[in-house]
Each structure stands twice: as C-alpha cells, then as structure tokens.
C-alpha cells in the first residue's frame, strides 16, 4: 500500500505530459533535415557542437515559455500585446512574427512535398497541396476540447519521425572519435556560419517559443493556486526535458547519418540527393524509412506551425480567424516557391536562417517577463535561468550579426 501511495503522484505527473511534445515537433521539421544533412555531408562532424548548444538552449527557452503560461494564465503573445505601447507597435511586432511563421511554413510544406515526390513521384506543388490539406484535417483537433487527441496524433507522428531518421544509424553507426571531436566549438569559413545559423534557427524555433505558453493553457487551464502551479511546473519541466531529448536525438542523428554515410558522395547537398545516397549506402528500406520520416515531419510541423500562428495573432492583435482559413492563406507562399522551381533544399536552408533572426524578438521579452517578480511572484526565474537565457540571447544576436555581415559582403 505504501508503494502504491508513493507511485500515485508520479502517475498523475505522467498524465500531465504532452504539450512539450507538440512544441518539440517544431524542432524536427524539414528545415532541420536540410540544415543538418547539409552540415554533416559537407563538414562531417564539425558542427555537432552547434546542435548540442542549441538543444540545451531550447530546453531552457521552452520551459520559460511554458512557465509563463502556467503561472500567469496568459500566453506570451497576449503578454506582449498588453506590454507593447500602442497598436502600431503591436502591428509591427506581429508583422515580424508572421514573416517568421511564413518562413517556417515554407520549410514544412516544402519538406513534406519532397517526401511525397520521393515516395510516389508526385510533382512538388501537388505534394505541397496534399500536405496542406492533411494539416487542415489535423487542425480540426487543435482546440482545448480536443487537446489530448491532438497531442496523441502529433506524438504518434513524432514516433514515426524518430524511426525514420534514426534507423540509418543502426545500420551504420557513427565514428565515436569523430563525434567527440565534433563537440569542440569551432567554425570553418563563411558557409559554416550560414549553416550554424540555419541549424540554430531550425532548432530554437520562434513560433515554438510563442506557442508553448498557449499549449499549457489549452491543456491545463488557468490556476491561481500556488500548490497547483507548482505541480504543473514540475510536470512541465519533465515534459520539456523528455520532449527535447527526443528532438535533440533526432537532430544529431541526422547530422551523424550524413557525416557517416553521405560524406564525399555526389549530390548530397539536396534532400533528394541525400535520399538517393542513403539508398545506395544503406539500402532501399532505410531510404524509404527516411522519406516516411520526412513526410511525417512535414505534416506534423506544418499543423503545429498553423496552431502557433493562430496563437500569435490572437495574442498580439486580439483577433482570431478559423484555423482552416489561416492554413489556406499561409499555404500560398509555399506552393508558389514549389511551383516556380526554386531549389527546395536551398529554400529550406534559407528559411531556417530567416528563423534565426526572429529568435531574439521572442526570447528577449520572454526572458524579461519570466524574470519579473511582480508578474511571476515566487515562480520568477532564478539566477541560473536568468544567466543562461542571457547567454543564449547574446550568442544568437552575435551569430546573426556575423551572418548579416557575410550576406551584405557577398560571402555567404
């Protein structure tokens, strides 16, 4: 009986898990695939350290976002909408957030379209439409009344992503020495700066920062009782760590797969070429798993991205439009990119670099809000979290500044 009583709080805590796994889908979207495969195929294990640093930052940032929602009962966009002075500033902030969301959607739809082309030979623009339509169906579950069903579907797709992208390493494990060497921070030329920014943008996702505060409210509701808030924060911390461990494993696995099996092979600078090289090196079964994982990634991440876009608009502009209508509108830029013949892998990498520029706009106010004792009370960030998030902001801003200089001088 004693053991049963001790186990009950743990079981209750496990039932509170889920929101972070939805947010974690943003960290394993097709943009990650393009950036990580390109980095591994071209530079081997060199940029492993970028993914490790980015994942540590992601754990910290997603916890702060979720904590803001749990403690205040308000989403990050809602808090920003109240804090920003005047309608013009809210519109401007919403505008940059929507640009980031559009870049996200391009990556996700393009990735799913590539997967359908690899699996069934469909034209890219038709594949993009199919991904968009499937995501609309999933979005019907994205409301507080069906939150657990939505989480279950997304977590199922996450399991498919893990199997699809990690399977190749079982057949051809990475070199341990190379992996350890890749954990030493260093860069090698302007292209590695672009790739590092893309990997950072693909790992620490601005729309996931905005979204997580909404996910915990939709799942857990709002509470003012300190005991209940403390319970939710403990569950949230476990939720974030587990979900981001899964996402981080997938990201590192992609880079290791490319470094181990694709290095030196022709055509691996595109996802299609990487898929072909995977088939040649590891067999058609692993190549098929890779394509299925990419498809699951595109469908899941574009659904989550649309969910995030709705939360951003509702919080900053205090307006809501039906998810399906929003999905229809945001699908247009991705279909245009696919229809005009832009290199899809390059579009994915550039979209992730754009995302990295949007991170400070989400992270700086989040850090300020969660450190504010008048807002957070006893649950305000402690010194370790304040210092860690400050370091994260500095790293991101410096990397983006270097990337901007390289772009302006034509060296990236």
Angle between helices 323-339 and 87-120 (to 10 degrees): 60
Tell me the CA distances in angstroms from 327 to 134, 302, 360, 382, one per residue in order.
11, 9, 26, 39
Range of the domain at 384: 2-408
Report the alpha-carbon distance of residue 313 to residue 294 in Å, rounded: 28
Residues making up the chain, counted from first to last? 412
pLDDT for residue 401:
76
Sign, Cα dihedral of 146, 69, 65, 234: negative
What's the CATH number where 337 sits? Answer: 1.20.1740.10
Which residues, in sequence order, are CB contacts of 410 under 8 Å at separation 6+?
A: none
The count of domains in the chain is 1
- The per-residue b/e assignment along 367-401, b for 16 or more CB within 10 angstroms, e otherwise, is bebbbeeebbeebbbeeebeebbeebbeebeebbe
Angle between helices 87-120 and 344-370 (to 10 degrees): 140
Q: What is the pLDDT along the chain (412 residues), one digit of tens a residue?
A: 444 545 556 666 667 778 999 999 988 888 788 788 888 988 999 999 999 998 998 999 999 999 999 999 999 999 999 999 888 999 999 988 888 877 788 888 988 999 999 999 999 999 999 998 998 888 877 666 677 888 888 899 999 999 999 988 888 899 899 999 999 998 888 788 878 877 776 677 888 899 999 999 988 888 889 999 999 999 999 999 999 999 999 999 999 999 998 887 777 777 888 888 889 888 999 999 999 999 999 999 888 888 888 889 889 988 888 777 777 787 888 888 888 888 887 777 777 677 777 888 998 999 999 999 999 999 999 999 999 988 888 887 787 777 777 767 766 5
């Amino acid at each position: 009986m004693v053991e049963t009583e001790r186990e009950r709080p743990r079981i209750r805590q496990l039932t509170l898990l889920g929101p972070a796994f939805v947010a974690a889908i943003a960290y394993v979207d097709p943009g990650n695939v393009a950036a990580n495969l390109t980095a591994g195929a071209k530079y081997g294990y060199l940029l492993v350290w970028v993914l490790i640093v980015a994942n540590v930052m992601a754990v910290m940032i997603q916890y702060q976002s979720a904590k803001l929602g749990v403690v205040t009962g308000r989403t990050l966009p809602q808090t920003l909408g109240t804090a920003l002075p005047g309608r013009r500033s809210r519109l401007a902030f919403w505008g940059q957030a929507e640009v980031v969301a559009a870049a996200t959607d391009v990556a996700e739809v393009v990735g799913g379209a590539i997967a359908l082309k690899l699996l069934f030979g469909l034209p890219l623009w038709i594949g993009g439409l199919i991904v968009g339509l499937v995501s609309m169906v999933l979005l019907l579950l994205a409301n507080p009344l069906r939150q657990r069903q939505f989480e279950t579907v997304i977590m199922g797709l996450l399991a498919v992503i893990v199997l699809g992208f990690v399977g190749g390493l079982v057949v051809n494990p990475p070199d341990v020495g190379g992996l350890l060497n890749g954990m030493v921070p260093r860069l090698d030329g302007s292209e590695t700066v672009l790739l590092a920014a893309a990997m950072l943008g693909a790992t620490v996702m601005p729309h996931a920062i905005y979204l997580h505060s909404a996910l915990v409210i939709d799942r857990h509701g709002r509470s003012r009782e300190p005991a209940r808030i403390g319970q939710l924060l403990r569950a949230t911390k476990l939720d974030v760590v587990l979900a981001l461990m899964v996402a981080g494993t997938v990201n590192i696995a992609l880079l290791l797969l490319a470094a181990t099996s694709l290095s030196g092979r022709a055509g691996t600078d595109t996802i299609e070429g990487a898929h072909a090289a995977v088939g040649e090196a590891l067999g058609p079964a692993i190549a098929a798993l890779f394509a299925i994982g990419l498809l699951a990634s595109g469908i899941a991440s574009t659904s989550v991205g649309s969910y995030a876009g709705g939360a951003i608009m509702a919080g900053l502009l205090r307006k809501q439009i039906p998810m399906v209508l929003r999905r229809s509108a945001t699908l247009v830029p991705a279909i245009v990119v696919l229809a005009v013949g832009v290199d899809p892998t390059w579009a994915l990498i550039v979209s992730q670099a754009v995302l990295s520029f949007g991170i400070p706009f989400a992270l700086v106010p989040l850090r300020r809000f969660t450190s504010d004792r008048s807002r957070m009370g006893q649950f305000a960030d402690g010194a370790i979290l304040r210092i860690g998030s400050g370091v994260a902001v500095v790293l991101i801003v410096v990397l983006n500044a270097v990337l901007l200089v390289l772009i302006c001088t034509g060296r990236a």
